[in-house]
Chain A
């Protein structure tokens, strides 16, 4: 009985503020652009059920056709996926050795190291990305240091390189923590057993440690890849005019062009692009919970 009472408030809240908005996005993505308020047609006349049929009939896939026709959109999707993939691989290459070193650190250090990884997460994302503007800009900190040692200045800001640096920096903790968790769970006697049976240390690492941290690697990669595909702040602050990411396109479409219907279509397609990695991630998370 009490469980029923507890269930309803969060359930109804999510239905109204999570599910309903999505339905709306789908519906608007199928509507036509109009110079009106709101700037799409048809609008539902909720009070008149007899008009619903006609309204539904007016929905079509024209906006999606538009996304296919204009190269801007599909190149933005592809570019987002590529940038997310590269950033994920970079984060893995930096994050795995760190997580490994943490798991190998003396036990009384580990809580402190964990906290040092989590700490940046508690401070503002925006500020952490902003910090890199001062470092990477043409008259920034990095070029000042390079100047001292006599290396000619680099122009990194407003390039994809700056975007990669910012993405890896911001999302590194999400890579480290799950990998650390899976490495920390490995029974040290497994590595001793491998050595006992004739493995060298390196061989034991590749045959035992890496396979047993696979779940952590998957989780870390998804936790980086999925949000990065839709990332808006990093490309806006560190990227240049040729940095094409779909999150940025969506915001610009909505606010600058006021084209709600195309923006909604962009969102729907983005969601479908991410459905596969999201489902894969949920599956692996459930499998981890089960063990």
Chain B
């Protein structure tokens, strides 16, 4: 580990800022969170990623104090938060709906939390101005929330929740209401602001691209449990399950019998060579589309399968080919369109070869 890589989770000397220890939350009979433990370190931009209803919002709301765990402990900076009411926690939240007070202007919205702390007037004013500068909304200070655009509202919400300089900022689907282009711009702004303020951010999102773009680490959740916690790159390149592989990015899964060096996937077909130390038995080969090469002639590679082109999706920067291989499974392969006017000689119903190296895929046994 070199010093300039930010990875406190790999450093045994670091102590976590937020610790969920065996947290379970039940709503009546329904278990929303099932025995979850997470450590989050100061300065992290931590994402909770999962489909709607997976419990990610509940997990966040427990840290804010709006839900109480059925069992388990949530601590912040070593202090158990169990009996601390939401208004006394050094945590602020940016709500999915932004929850801007409609009867107050932008300035008063941002000042709201500071005034509750009984700060003197000039300090409140100085801090609000600083926040307005941070989100570049000085001109809109006197507007009411319904007189500014969605993107501006989002920034007011951010400024308001950052104004009290919380130890942790919680963001509940912060960009969900923005259109795609604005969302992408704002993602980088968020990272920028997080780095400027040094605050620990925790974000809830169902958008894997967003989680990948902004966060240092991602916890992938499904039905109240955590499937995997890792950096975006590790999640993409080394998912621990089909669920994670499928949720993060696009993947082809080929089912077969894993014998330690080859995967036997169909009667009469050459077994697929993979380098993996997964336990032998039933398993899946996970292959990202961009790791598969497509050609008209049989290429020299560790693995090569013939197939027929069913569909081609031209996306501009790249093309996705859907190829039916022996046994009827459809495999997606991607090729970049590096040259502008190249003749793309592969077309519908062509017989093609798919090929990849033995290190391109991953064997998953669950």
Which residues of chain A have a CB within 8 Å of any CB of chain B? 187, 189-190, 192-200, 203, 208, 211-212, 214, 291
| A192-B66, A192-B86 given; A198·B99 CB < 8 A | no
Residues of B71-114 contacting chain A, CB below 8 A: 85-88, 91-93, 95-97, 99, 101-103, 112-113
Determine the distance from Cα of A193 to Cα of B103 in the docked complex, in whole angstroms: 14
Kindly state the separation between the CA atoms of A187 and B93 in the bound complex, as whole angstroms. Answer: 16
Q: In the complex, what distance in Å separates the CA atom of A232 from the CA atom of B117?
A: 53
A sample of 13 more A-B contacts (CB under 8 A), given A187-B97, A189-B97, A199-B116, is A192-B64, A193-B95, A194-B101, A195-B85, A195-B86, A195-B87, A196-B161, A197-B113, A198-B88, A198-B113, A198-B117, A212-B102, A212-B103
Q: Would you call B160 an interface residue if the criterion is a C-beta within 8 Å of the partner chain's C-beta atoms?
A: yes
B116 touches A196 (CB 8 A): no
List residues of chain A with CB within 8 A of the CB of B91.
Answer: 196
Q: Across the interface, which residues of A come within 8 angstroms of B85, CB to CB?
A: 195, 200
In chain B, positions 103-131 with a C-beta closer than 8 Å to chain A are 103, 112-113, 116-117
* Interface residues on chain B, number (Cβ under 8 Å): 25
Question: Given A192-B66, A194-B112: A200 and B95 within 8 A (CB)?
Answer: no
Q: Is A187 a contact partner of B99 (Cβ separation < 8 A)?
A: yes
Query: Which of chain B's residues have a CB closer than 8 A to the CB of A189?
Result: 95-97, 99
Within the assembled complex, what's the spacing in Å between the Cα atoms of A208 and B108?
13
For residue B86, give the distance in angstroms from its CB to the closest CB of chain A.
4
- Which residues of B sit under 8 angstroms from A291, Cβ to Cβ? 146
- How far apart are A37's CB and chain B's nearest CB, in angstroms? 59
Determine whether B167 belongs to the interface, using a CB cutoff of 8 Å to chain A: no
Q: Is B99 touching A190 in the complex (CB atoms < 8 A)?
A: yes
A189-B95, A189-B97, A192-B86 known; A197 and B164 CB under 8 Å?
yes
A211 to B109, CA, bound (A): 14
Query: Which residues of B are found within 8 Å of A214, using beta-carbon distances?
Result: 103
CA distance A193 to B113 in the complex (A): 9
Q: Which of B65, B66, B113, B116 has the most CB of A within 10 A?
A: B116
B87 close to A196 (CB less than 8 A):
yes
Q: Which residues of B contact A193 (CB under 8 A)?
A: 93, 95, 99, 101
Q: Are A197 and B103 in contact (CB under 8 A)?
A: no
Taken together as a complex, chains A and B put the C-alpha atoms of A199 and B87 apart, in Å, by 6
* Residue contacts A-B, CB under 8 angstroms, 11 given: A189-B95, A189-B96, A189-B97, A192-B64, A192-B66, A196-B87, A196-B91, A197-B87, A198-B164, A208-B101, A212-B102
**Bound complex: CA of A211 vs CA of B101, how far in Å?**
10
Q: Are B101 and A198 in contact (CB under 8 A)?
A: no
A200 to B86, alpha carbons, bound, how many Å?
9
Residue among B112, B146, B164 with max Cβ neighbours from chain A (10 Å): B112
CA distance A265 to B117 in the complex (A): 59
Indicate whether A196 sits within 8 Å of B103 (C-beta atoms), given known contacts A187-B97, A189-B97: no
